[in-house]
Structure 1
């Protein structure tokens, strides 16, 4: 019923024994486990020796979006779970998600509470602000137990189970995640496209996952910071209607200026291929079925207000 996709990159000192033991258990009953080695130079794939997984080795680093798309193109299951190399999920995580998706046919994506190593909340889904930036709900707050399922605007691709039919519907040409994003905000972009098609995302009860957030090289951090503004503006250009862009323009400008003051490097902008952007925008807007008012209900307010807790 479910295929598990794990993109990895230079993970030999990141992937834990507990992670490998969990994957070994999942491999005994899932349809397929696909590991995408994204051009690692530390022989990361050898960690999975003796585990029933299919390994795809990219000749060079292609980024998270492209790597996951490769795995999704191989999928033949009804559901697909995307799992980060530094996130440890409970043994019943996928089974619980399958049951919820079976019972809720309008749901595209399901996850549970994800904590960090300190026991604080890493993410409880995404919340949308008036500048169309998404942040992690309750991030940094003390971990709490989820007692009942709760609909959220969208989910982080850290450890989420998706309905494959919904991903196919949200794809543009053969891309489920926009490959021009590389490794930043690609899940937010997908969340908005799913919402446009009236698909839902839910957080469900159960034992939490632990996101260890493995150490990252300085060069990679700088690369991600530079991609941030470009990918954010791509999201606004592709996914927002003319009216939504008009309403959000002031908040976007304030957010951009505030971000530049905090981190000038993060404001570096490379729009990429304008023809490609226009094609994506046309496809997304033409097939959109979710009205603007319904999307607007998810906007929590002005993001720079530190007292906003709504999510």
Structure 2
């Protein structure tokens, strides 16, 4: 029986696995198992694990091979469900495959999670691997115009050193309590599988807040994220899913009063995404928006089933159009 499970979806990420596994097996806290959910169409990641960690396979590494690329949301759900088969599981740690973790990463996350029973998620300090003088993410920000941001992205690594409450976690490196995930589960899903990839962590952050769960930033839990390692930073894939899921998120989650007060900002943000991506020669943004509104009623049905205990969630929203670098905005 194991208390902590690390869930890592993989898609052609074999080049990152040496650093990923070596950092995890050097942790000061070792009472964990890794559920490695492989979306790749090759066997390279499995071959690497089998060659380098044969004694840990089925013991500390649970390998799951998907028949096709299910995307981040569904692959992570598969891992979560497997973890929850163990009644001793208390903590689910989401961790990207292009991560290198400092040795106290897990120990500090769990310490923080234990401080308050209403803490539903805990965010690590994510440093940009390629440029370690800069922050990658210290949580999620959600703007009144519907745009989602990585909090602290591209700011100096020396700052954000205080433990504090945040809106929610970037799922690249964070912990969710089992009880919190079970509380917001809908239709046997934790992350919304309609999102496939991008904004799914903003969606789950909002749902946890609505349900009354707090999210805490833990600055002593540190990882290095090699941004764009397996998904790219600007591609048609990125543009499509970011653009579509931006719309899904505000349709599904934005409080009605917030939406009405800021309708002009939301419309402007929608139009700006289309214009910017057309200028970038990414016409796939048009399909993204078409598909988003084509699923309007599906999002409305999900909206009705969100548990809404926290009536003051709008107080956690910001008004922001871009971070220090436009590359870290999740919808443009």
The size of the alignment, in residue pairs, is: 302
Alpha-carbon distance change, 201 to 89 in structure 1, aligned in 2, over 3 angstroms:
same
Structure 2 gap ranges (5+): 326-332
Residue of structure 2 in register with 1:7 after alignment:
9
Deviation of the 1:215 alpha carbon? 4.1
Residue of structure 2 in register with 1:67 after alignment:
75
Worse-matched range after superposition: 2-11 or 125-134:
125-134
SS of the equivalent of 1:85 reads coil
Residue of structure 2 in register with 1:290 after alignment:
310
Deviation of the 1:166 alpha carbon? 0.5
Worse-matched range after superposition: 265-274 or 40-49:
265-274
Please say if 1:243 is aligned against 2:257: yes
Residue of structure 2 in register with 1:35 after alignment:
36
Distance in 1 between residues matched to 2:308 and 2:5, nearest whole Å: 28
Deviation of the 1:5 alpha carbon? 0.8
Distance in 2 between residues matched to 1:218 and 1:224, nearest whole Å: 8
In the alignment, which of 168, 183, 193 is matched to residue 207 of structure 2?
A: 193
Distance in 1 between residues matched to 2:170 and 2:26, nearest whole Å: 24
In the alignment, which of 74, 84, 88 is matched to residue 100 of structure 2?
A: 88
Alpha-carbon distance change, 306 to 29 in structure 1, aligned in 2, over 3 angstroms:
closer
Asked whether the 8 Å contact 1:198–1:289 carries over to 2, the reply is yes
Worse-matched range after superposition: 240-249 or 172-181:
240-249
Residue of structure 2 in register with 1:18 after alignment:
19
Distance in 2 between residues matched to 1:176 and 1:127, nearest whole Å: 20
Q: Deviations over 1:27-47 (max 9, x none)?
A: 983342110001332521222
TM-score (norm 2): 0.84
Structure 1 gap ranges (5+): none
Asked whether the 8 Å contact 1:146–1:206 carries over to 2, the reply is no
Please say if 1:279 is aligned against 2:279: no
Alpha-carbon distance change, 219 to 26 in structure 1, aligned in 2, over 3 angstroms:
closer
Asked whether the 8 Å contact 2:148–2:246 carries over to 1, the reply is no
Distance in 2 between residues matched to 1:210 and 1:10, nearest whole Å: 19
Please say if 1:155 is aligned against 2:156: no
Residue of structure 2 in register with 1:222 after alignment:
236
Alpha-carbon distance change, 31 to 113 in structure 1, aligned in 2, over 3 angstroms:
closer
Distance in 2 between residues matched to 1:10 and 1:220, nearest whole Å: 17
Deviation of the 1:202 alpha carbon? 1.2
Alpha-carbon distance change, 302 to 9 in structure 1, aligned in 2, over 3 angstroms:
closer
SS of the equivalent of 1:88 reads strand
Deviation of the 1:136 alpha carbon? 1.1
Q: Deviations over 1:242-299 (max 9, x none)?
A: 2222123111111112222211333531125455323211101xx20111xx212222
Asked whether the 8 Å contact 1:251–1:302 carries over to 2, the reply is no
Residue of structure 1 in register with 2:193 after alignment:
179
Measured on the aligned residues, the alpha-carbon RMSD in Å equals 2.4
SS of the equivalent of 1:151 reads strand
Residue of structure 2 in register with 1:100 after alignment:
112
Asked whether the 8 Å contact 2:153–2:324 carries over to 1, the reply is no
